[in-house]
Structure 1
Amino acid sequence: MSVAQTENLNIATVDHMPSPEEIKARVPLSDRAAATVLAGRKALADILEGRDKRLFVVVGPCSIHDPVAGLDYARRLKALADEVSDTMLLVMRVYFEKPRTSTGWKGFINDPFMDDSFRIDVGMEKARRFLLDVCEIGLPTGTEALDPNAPQYYGDLVTWTAIGARTSESQTHREMASGLSTPVGFKNATDGDLEVAINAIISAAHPHSFLGINGQGQSAILRTRGNRHGHVVLRGGGGRPNYDTVSVSLAEQALAKAKLPVNIVVDCSHANSWKKPELQPLVMKDVIHQIREGNRSVVGLMIESNLEAGNQAIPADLSQLKYGCSVTDACVGWDTTVDMIRSAHGVLRDALARRERA
């Protein structure tokens, strides 16, 4: 009597994926890149622990799809970062993985050629190469951790990590965050619920043991120490923004009640701007005004920005893609980005001198 097949009934193929060690050998960490990462992480820790009064600003494309345009953006951002370094630490937003509500392009790692070939092996190596190039420019990077195995491939090149609104409630992502080497921002849920993010911060601060992979790509039990630099990211939700003074005050109270550091990052995009990029400057202006008026809890901001404003659909003929324009969420353009950062810099120079952290 033959044994009935009971597994892999919906698996079409199983393709080889290089191990993290193989990818790192092809794209090794350089001394300059390592120095950028370590300096960025230390600066973030100092901001979160109140030793550094500056804000950190995670700014960049909604997603990376063209490394050439991405590096063009990075070089411009590095010059701007140097200009405002006395008030802000600029971290380039480098997002390779895109969680989709239903369907759509899943990002540069998953489908680097944007043709549904899903060459994840190629995408992972290209993503690591891009992060290395940005770090060698001297610019720290921030990304969203979605696939639990991905940090093994490029986590050594990341300065700040976000856990998205869809995954802050996920035990898998809380466990992963507990072992990441970066500070981690947990976004409130898509319905606006802040408790999800607060519980995630508490969970990730504790040690965990979970199933993952090691450098050789083998299944392994990962045992973590816990991440003490978790913080909340307000991104709006449930049909309303949550960057206003009242919402920030309520977030402060919730963090204090949970006996957590009162560190808040405001995402100027997503529900806080009703996904209208032209509203992001107004959100940022409002938050900077709160700081000028005495707010002590806001430590960072997020901006979705690209070389060109707006977004575009992915055409069948990829040669028709508009250079430097998002293929996912719409972004503010470069000129607007510069205006936002410089305007904030002008206000913060005086405001931060008077600011005392809680």
Structure 2
Amino acid sequence: MHTVRTANFRVTGVDPLPAPARIRDEIPVPLAAQQVVDQTRHDITTINEGEDDRLVVVTGPCSVHDPDAALAYAERLAHLAQEVSDQLLVVMRVYVEKPRTRLGWKGLVSDPRLDGSHDIHSGLRLARSLMVRILDTGLPVGCEFLDPAIPRYLSDAVSWASIGARTVQSQVHRQFASGLSMPVGLKNSTTGSVEDAIDAIVAAGSGHVFPGIDDDGAAAVLTTSGNPDCHIVLRGSSAGPNYGAVHVAKTLDLLEAAGLRRSLFIDASHGNSGKDHNRQPQVVADLAGRIGEGESGITGVMLESFLAAGRQDLGRADRLSYGQSVTDACVGWGQTVHMISELADAVASRRSSPAHLSLVS
């Protein structure tokens, strides 16, 4: 009898992953690191709610391709974060998944050896090990979640997560964000639509029932209670930046009209800098000036920063420049210190402003 193949017609390989629980057991988060995660999740929420007047700063490379360089960056950042801890809560950007508009390197989890071998088994372990080592410096970890299976392997080490501009309209991403245990920033869409992100915040704030995997790696129906700690990240678009005071005020009004908190993060990179890393300091200077003068509603700032400024094309791993991005261009360490110091000074200035003093008196 003639048979017709209708399943897996274009699937050329199936390689089962270890269960999330197994990976977490192999690479546990130590108690002290768990306390960092728990405390900083709480602190980010209270900052967004206006109960803590510090500013969240999420900074780090566009994507992690060299764990050793990322850890060296973390060690420097941990010292700086301690110096400004009264004004800022610094979170290290540890992005191990990369969405691509067309094609390209998909991140440390997907291709840890940077050679197209796609050893996801090693990538998951490498990403988790790096996050634990960064937590050991005292820094909280922030990352973007792209594949809905990945949070099961990594989320217990993450204090802040983001849903990117390419996926903010995705029902799948809104559903799994509703079950994440940390605050989640949802970016405006690549077209610049703020409404898409607001819709995503409302959706992720509600409970959902959807298919996924459990801690043992088995297919399961997941039921979530909803995530009340989601917020919008203004990142600009191809149409131009949206970090200005007018854009911020309009977005805050839209959030309030949707019954949401009047608070937001601003990404100083991407569309807000015209994808030119040299403009990030200009964006930060503008934000710092406005924050220092008492502008409300901005509770977080995102930076793309690494040890060395700029970017490089991905080639042989042994020929890459140390500490320089292989995806979007980043500012270097010197500019990072300057921008973080500027934002810390802005918070200090805001505290001494008449408007702030009248609120706390």
**What CA deviation, in whole Å up to 9, does each residue of 1:104-162 have, x standing for no partner?**
00000000001100001110011000011111111001000100010000100000000
Look up the match of 1:248.
248
**Cα distance in structure 1, aligned partners of 2:165 and 2:246:** 21
Structure 2 match to 1:276? 276
Kept after mapping to 1: 8 A contact 2:293/2:349 = no
Gaps of 5+ in 2: none
Q: CA deviation at 1:353?
A: 4.6
3-state DSSP of counterpart to 2:178: helix
**What is the letter of the counterpart of residue 74 of structure 1?**
A
* Equivalent residue number for residue 289 of structure 1: 289
Residue aligned with 1:124, SS: helix
The AA in structure 2 aligned to 1:347 is A
Change (3 A) 1:352 1:177: farther
Distance in 2 of aligned mates of 1:279 and 1:174? 31
Q: Deviations over 1:233-287 (max 9, x none)?
A: 0000142100011111111111111111011100000000001001001101111
Report the CA distance between 1:197 and its aligned residue: 0.3
Aligned partner of 1:78: which letter?
A
Q: Could you give the per-residue CA deviations for residues 312-335 of structure 1, whole angstroms, max 9, x where no partner exists? A: 0012x3211100000000000001
Check conservation: 2:235, 2:269, Cα contact below 8 A.
Answer: yes
Structure 1 runs, 4 residues or longer, greater than 2 Å off: 352-357
Structure 1: segments with no counterpart, 5+ residues = none
* Aligned-partner residue type, residue 140 of structure 1: P
Q: Is the 8 A contact 2:288 2:342 kept in 1?
A: no
Q: 1:292-311 to 2 correspondence within 5 Å?
A: 292-311=292-311
List aligned pairs for 1:143-222, cutoff 5 A: 143-222=143-222
* Aligned AA (2:103): T
For residues 14 and 134 of structure 2, what CA distance do their matches in structure 1 show?
33
Aligned equivalents of 2:107, 2:219: Cα separation in 1: 25
Partner of 2:5: 5
SS at match of 1:179: coil
User: In structure 2, what residue type is equivalent to 1:40?
Assistant: T
- Answer with 282-291 or 320-329: which moved more: 282-291
Give the partner amino acid of 1:216: D
* Alignment RMSD (CA, Å): 1.1
Q: Which residue pairs with 1:84 in the alignment? A: 84
Q: CA deviation at 1:293?
A: 2.4
SS at 2:227 equivalent: coil
List per-residue Cα deviations over 1:9-53 (Å, max 9, x = no partner).
Answer: 101111121110111121012111101101111111111121100
The residue number in structure 2 matching 1:64 is 64
CA contact (8 A) 1:54 1:352 kept: no
Alignment partner of 1:59: what SS? strand
d(CA) in 1 for partners of 2:132 and 2:317? 25
Distance in 2 between residues matched to 1:241 and 1:222, nearest whole Å:
38
Counterpart residue number, 2:257: 257
Mapped contact 1:84–1:342 kept (Cα < 8 A): yes
| Equivalent-residue separation in structure 2 for 1:345 and 1:48 (angstroms) | 17
2:331 corresponds in structure 1 to 332
Structure 1 residue 342 corresponds to structure 2 residue 341: yes
Q: Quick one: distance in 1 between partners of 2:242 and 2:258?
A: 19
In the alignment, is residue 130 of structure 1 matched against residue 130 of structure 2?
A: yes
Q: TM-score, normalised by structure 1?
A: 0.98
Secondary structure (helix, strand or coil) at the match of 1:58 reads strand
Measure the CA separation in 1 of the matches of 2:256 and 2:33: 36
Cα distance in 1, alignment partners of residues 45 and 255 from structure 2: 18
Deviation at residue 3 of structure 1 after TM alignment: 2.8
Q: After superposition, give the CA deviation of every residue in 1:143-184 in whole Å (9 maximum; x if it has no partner).
A: 001000100001000000000001110000000110000001
CA distance in 2, matches of 1:233, 1:352: 24
Offset at 1:347? 2.6
Alpha-carbon distance between aligned partners in 1 of 2:59 and 2:352, rounded to the nearest angstrom: 24
C-alpha separation in 2, matches of 1:181 and 1:233: 18
Contact 2:292 2:348 in 1 (8 A): no
> Match of 1:241, SS?
coil
Structure 2 CA distance for aligned equivalents of residues 105 and 352 of structure 1: 44
CA apart distance, 1:350: 2.3
Query: Identity over the aligned pairs, expressed in percent?
Result: 46
The TM-score with structure 2 as length reference comes to: 0.97
**Offset at 1:7?**
0.7
Distance 1:96 1:144 in 2: 8
Task: Tell me which amino acid in the other structure corresponds to 1:84.
Answer: V
Partner of 2:26: 26
**What corresponds to 2:230 in structure 1?**
230
Task: Read off the aligned partner of 2:319 and give its amino acid letter.
Answer: Q
Using the alignment, how far apart are the partners of 2:180 and 2:16 within structure 1?
26
In structure 1, what is the Cα distance between the partners aligned to 2:306 and 2:339?
A: 13
